[in-house]
Amino acid sequence: MNRRIIDCRRLLCPMPVINVQDAVEGLPAGDQVEAVCTDPGVLKDIPAWSRINGHRVIEAKSLGGEYIVIVEVVQDSES
């Protein structure tokens, strides 16, 4: 299992979701993407995207003015 951390600070919807989608593309099942964001909307937007696309949210939390969402790739993502 590998974890890729992406910086989505100062980005507003829909850019954090698009960045997570791009980061997940091509990853094997079991890998994770951790998005560090400043837009509180990601706590709902990224989990909704994950459900629609068959991935699992491992954690979604607020930490010191930032919002961190960790998504596990459940299905292999193909380009």
Predicted confidence (pLDDT) per residue in 4-50, tens digit: 999 999 999 999 999 999 999 999 999 999 999 999 999 999 999 99
Cβ atoms of 27 and 72 closer than 8 Å = no
Name the pTM for this structure: 0.92
Element (H, E) at 65: none
User: Is 1 in a helix, a strand, or coil?
Assistant: coil
Please give the pLDDT value at position 42. Answer: 98
Q: Is 45 left (phi over 0), alpha (psi -120 to 50) or beta?
A: alpha
Q: How far apart are CA 49 and CA 18, in angstroms?
A: 10
Predicted confidence (pLDDT) per residue in 42-74, tens digit: 999 999 999 999 999 999 999 999 999 999 999
Q: Is 55 left (phi over 0), alpha (psi -120 to 50) or beta?
A: beta
